[in-house]
Copies of this chain bind each other. A is one copy, B any other.
Amino acid sequence: MKYELILKNISRFINLNQEEQDLYISLFTEKKIKKKDFLLRQGEIARHDYFITKGCLKVYNIDTKGSEHISMFAVKDWWSGDMASFITQQPANYFIQALEESEVLQISKENFDLLFERIPKFERFYRILYQRSLVTYIQRSDQNISFSAEDRYLNFIKKYPSLLNRISQKNIAAYLGVTPEFLSLLRKKMASM
């Protein structure tokens, strides 16, 4: 069944009875996205938060010089969205674009707010989810500043082993924060060792 994956994801941190499960699922709608289509663009308001059930998307922004920086890749069983924009309902800083034909479950801001009213247990779920994400992002923010491109590439491979041969080097470079030219050079150098 379609909602198994999201219910299993939730059950990592909280238990829901049947009634709660039904209510929870009723707050989501399904959405299919074709390759290269956008869930969100910089400047729009993020009306939804997303749970990925199939495919792969990238969350990125374009800086003042026009370069693209990928903040995360969202794959099956991951949550994604522009949290700042979703929470504050201010214009988004990020684009979310499908790298493959993908499927997501989306929840609107209204339903997200409703969720906490109806099933307060979800405060706990998100407390723990955010706590874990925080640990990851604190680490990543430290690593981005102190690790070489080669170290970050090795980390990328560890973190997203399934993506290495699934997405373009151009996108990997944009995630690492280097030019595609330099990544190409790096890989050549690493292969020769």
Contacts and interface: CB of A to CB of B under 8 A. Distances in A.
Contacts of A162: none
A107 to B, nearest CB: 15
A84 B135 contact: yes
Contacts of A131: 83, 87, 126, 130
Interface of A: 61, 63, 67, 69, 71, 83-84, 87, 93, 116, 120, 123-124, 126-127, 130-131, 133-135, 137-142, 144-146, 176-177
A133 B141 CA distance: 13
A116 B142 CA distance: 30
A61 B138 contact: no
Contacts of A138: 71, 83-84, 137
Q: Which 7 A-B pairs have the closest CB atoms?
A: A145-B177, A130-B130, A141-B141, A123-B123, A137-B137, A144-B144, A127-B127
